C-alpha cells in the first residue's frame, strides 16, 4: 500500500453545482485511488503519519480535466482551407467541393500507423501539460476498413504509452468517402456490416458516433448505425444540430445516448428528450469560434431544463484546430455565457458523464486519483485568463505526471 498525503490545498470536489469546495483541505491517495478527502482538521489519525506528503502551497485541487470530444488522430493540414474561407468560401462549400473532411481522409489514409501515432502523441502531450487526464478520441478520417482501425489502434496505443485515459469513439459515418459517391446507403451498410463489427471485435470501440447533418448523414442513416451499435451493446453519441436542425438530439436520446454534441440548432423538443434520457449536451466553443458561427446553442433553455453541459475542444484540423482545453473554459464563458462553475463542471464531472466514465470527473473516495493542482486561489481564475499555465502538479491514476 503506497499512501500520499496532499495538504495545504483548497479542493473543488465537483460533487455539486457550487463545485463542492472544501477549504484548507487534505486528500489521501492510495495507489491509483482516492482514499480520503476532507477538511484537514478531520484527517483521521491513521493518515497523519503518512511519509509521502505534498505541500500544495495553498493551491486549488480539481479533478484532472477531461476533453470529452476530440478528433486527435489525423495527418495533413487544412491551413489552405482556412485561407479559402478568408477569401469568402464557407465550410460547407469547401466540403461540397471535395475538401474538408475528405482532404484529411486522403492524408490520413496515406500516413503509416507510426506516423499517425507520433502526430497524435504530440497533440495529446499538449493537452496533458494543461492538466488533462482523460481524452476521448474519434475515428472518422479513414472511412475505409484499414484506416478506421488504424486510427483507433493509435488511440489505444496512446493510453498504453502516455499518462492519460483514452476513450475511443467509432465515427466511420463522418463523411461519405469518394469511392461511395452517390451511394450513401451502401456505405452505411458497409459501416454497419463490416467496419463496426471488425473494430468492436478488436476491442477498439468504447462508443459510436455519427455526423448527422446535410453534409454528413441523414437521420435514417444515423438510426441504422445506432441500431447496430445497440445490437453490439455499445453506447452512442452524436454530432447533432451543428449547422442545421436534423432532430438528431431527440434520436440520440431515444437510444439513451451518452451525449449530443455541438447543438447550435437544437430545438426545445430536442432539449426535452435529452433531459428525459440523461443525455449530456457537449458544447464546442472552439468550433463555434473558428467557423465564425453566429447562432448560439440554446444555453438558457438547456440550463432551465437541467441538462448537464460539458465543454470540449473538438480538436480537429477543419473546424477546431485547437489543442487547448483551458482556452475552451474561457470561450465557454465569453462566447456562451456559461458561469465559471458551469464551465468547470463541463470539463470534469459532466465530461465524465458524457463518456460514461464513472471512475473520473469528481474527487470522491474510491474514484481514480486523477487530480490537478493549480496555482490559483479561486476556481474562476482557471476560466478568466488564458495563455498562462497555472498547473502546479498533475496525478493520473495516482502517479505524478512530469510535464
- Residues belonging to the binding site for N-formimidoyl-L-glutamate are 141, 316, 318
**CB 291, CB 91: distance < 8 Å:** yes
Q: Which stretch binds Fe ion (CB under 5 A): 16-24, 228-236, 309-317, 341-349?
A: 309-317
Question: What's the closest the beta carbon of residue 362 comes to ligand NIG, in angstroms?
Answer: 27
Which of Fe ion, ligand NIG, none lies near 225, with the C-beta cut-off 5 to 8 A by kind?
none
**CB 350, CB 309: distance < 8 Å:** yes
Would you give the binding string for ligand NIG spanning residues 159-198, x where CB under 6 A is met? ----------------------------------------
Site residues for ligand NIG, 42-61, by CB under 6 A, read none
- Note whether 101 binds ligand NIG by CB under 6 A: yes
Question: What's the closest the beta carbon of residue 239 comes to ligand NIG, in angstroms?
Answer: 5
CA 52 – CA 70 distance, rounded (Å): 36
Q: In this complex, which beta carbon is closest to Fe ion, that of residue 62 or of residue 70?
A: 70
- Note whether 314 binds ligand NIG by CB under 6 A: yes
C-alpha distances out from residue 376 to 131, 312, 383, 390, Å: 13, 22, 11, 7
Tell me the H-state helices in 111-183.
Answer: 113-128, 145-161
CA 106 – CA 35 distance, rounded (Å): 48
Would you list which residues are annotated within the binding site? 69, 71, 78, 141, 174, 239, 242, 314, 316, 318-319
Site residues for ligand NIG, 283-312, by CB under 6 A, read 287
- Note whether 316 binds ligand NIG by CB under 6 A: yes
Question: What's the closest the beta carbon of residue 252 comes to ligand NIG, in angstroms?
Answer: 14
Kindly provide the b/e burial profile for residues 114-143, where b requires at least 16 CB atoms within 10 angstroms of the residue's own CB. Answer: eebbebbbebbbebbebbbbbbbbbbbbbb
CA 42 – CA 60 distance, rounded (Å): 19
Would you list which residues are annotated within the binding site for Zn(2+)? 69, 71, 239, 314
Question: What's the closest the beta carbon of residue 109 comes to ligand NIG, in angstroms?
Answer: 14
Q: To 10 degrees, the CA torsion angle through 215, 219, 224, 229?
A: 90
Question: What's the closest the beta carbon of residue 208 comes to ligand NIG, in angstroms?
Answer: 15
Strand partners, 134: 66, 165
By CB under 5 A, name the one of 293, 314, 342, 370 that touches Fe ion. Answer: 314
- Note whether 217 binds ligand NIG by CB under 6 A: no
Q: In this complex, which beta carbon is closest to ligand NIG, that of residue 5 or of residue 210?
A: 210
By CB under 6 A, name the one of 64, 100, 163, 298 that touches ligand NIG. Answer: 100
Cα angle vertex 168, ends 162, 172, to 5°? 135
Q: Which stretch binds ligand NIG (CB under 6 A): 11-19, 60-68, 97-105, 335-343?
A: 97-105
Q: Which stretch binds Fe ion (CB under 5 A): 50-58, 142-150, 306-314, 392-400?
A: 306-314
- Non-local CB neighbours of 186 within 8 Å, separated by 6+ positions: 180
By CB under 6 A, name the one of 70, 222, 242, 259 that touches ligand NIG. Answer: 242
Q: Which stretch binds ligand NIG (CB under 6 A): 59-67, 264-272, 315-323, 347-355?
A: 315-323
The values of phi and psi at residue 248, to 5°, are -75, -35
By CB under 6 A, name the one of 190, 211, 226, 395 that touches ligand NIG. Answer: 211
Strand partners, 63: 371
- Non-local CB neighbours of 340 within 8 Å, separated by 6+ positions: 329, 333, 379, 380, 382, 383, 384
**CB 259, CB 310: distance < 8 Å:** yes
Interhelix angle 113-128/145-161, rounded to 10 degrees, is 40
DSSP-derived 3-state class of residue 322: coil
Q: In this complex, which beta carbon is closest to ligand NIG, that of residue 255 or of residue 290?
A: 290
> In the complex, which residue's CB is closest to Fe ion?
314
- Note whether 319 binds ligand NIG by CB under 6 A: yes
CA 220 – CA 349 distance, rounded (Å): 32
Residues that bind ligand NIG (CB under 6 A): 71, 100-101, 104, 211, 239, 242, 287, 314, 316-319
By CB under 5 A, name the binding residues for Fe ion: 314
Amino acid at each position: 500500500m503506497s499512501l500520499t498525503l496532499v495538504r495545504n490545498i483548497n479542493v473543488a470536489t465537483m460533487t455539486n453545482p457550487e463545485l463542492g469546495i472544501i477549504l484548507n483541505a487534505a486528500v489521501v491517495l492510495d495507489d491509483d485511488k482516492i482514499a480520503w478527502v476532507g477538511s484537514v482538521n478531520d484527517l483521521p489519525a491513521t493518515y497523519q503519519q503518512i511519509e509521502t506528503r505534498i505541500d500544495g502551497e495553498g493551491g486549488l485541487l480539481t479533478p484532472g480535466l477531461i476533453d470529452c470530444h476530440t478528433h486527435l488522430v489525423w495527418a495533413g493540414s487544412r491551413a489552405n482551407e482556412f485561407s479559402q474561407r478568408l477569401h469568402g468560401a464557407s465550410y460547407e462549400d469547401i466540403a461540397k467541393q471535395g475538401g474538408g473532411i475528405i482532404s484529411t481522409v486522403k492524408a490520413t489514409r496515406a500516413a503509416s500507423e507510426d506516423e499517425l501515432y507520433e502526430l497524435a502523441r504530440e497533440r495529446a502531450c499538449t493537452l496533458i501539460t494543461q492538466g488533462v487526464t482523460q481524452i476521448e478520441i474519434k475515428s472518422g478520417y479513414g472511412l475505409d476498413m484499414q484506416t478506421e482501425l488504424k486510427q483507433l489502434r493509435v488511440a489505444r496505443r496512446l493510453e498504453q504509452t502516455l499518462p492519460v485515459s483514452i476513450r475511443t469513439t467509432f465515427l466511420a459515418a463522418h463523411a461519405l468517402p469518394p469511392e461511395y459517391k452517390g451511394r450513401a446507403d451502401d456505405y452505411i451498410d458497409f459501416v454497419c456490416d463490416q467496419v463496426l463489427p471488425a473494430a468492436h471485435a478488436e476491442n477498439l470501440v468504447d462508443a459510436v458516433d455519427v455526423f448527422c447533418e446535410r453534409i454528413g448523414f441523414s437521420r435514417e442513416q444515423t438510426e441504422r448505425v445506432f441500431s447496430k451499435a445497440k445490437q453490439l451493446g455499445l453506447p452512442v453519441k452524436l454530432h447533432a444540430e451543428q449547422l442545421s436542425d436534423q432532430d438528431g438530439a431527440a434520436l440520440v436520446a431515444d437510444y439513451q445516448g451518452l451525449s449530443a454534441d455541438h447543438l447550435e440548432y437544437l430545438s426545445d423538443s430536442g432539449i426535452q428528450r435529452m433531459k428525459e434520457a440523461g443525455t449530456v449536451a457537449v458544447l464546442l466553443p472552439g468550433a463555434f469560434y473558428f467557423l465564425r458561427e453566429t447562432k448560439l446553442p440554446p444555453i438558457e433553455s438547456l440550463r432551465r431544463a437541467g441538462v448537464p453541459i460539458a465543454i470540449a475542444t473538438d480538436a480537429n484540423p477543419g473546424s477546431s484546430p485547437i489543442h487547448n482545453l483551458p482556452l475552451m473554459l474561457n470561450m465557454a464563458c465569453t462566447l456562451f455565457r456559461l458561469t465559471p462553475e458551469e464551465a468547470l463542471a463541463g470539463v470534469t464531472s459532466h465530461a465524465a458523464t458524457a463518456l460514461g466514465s464513472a471512475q473520473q470527473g469528481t474527487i470522491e473516495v474510491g474514484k481514480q486519483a486523477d487530480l490537478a493542482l493549480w496555482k490559483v486561489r479561486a476556481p474562476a481564475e482557471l476560466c478568466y485568463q488564458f495563455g498562462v499555465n497555472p498547473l502546479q502538479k498533475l496525478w493520473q491514476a495516482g502517479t505524478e505526471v512530469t510535464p
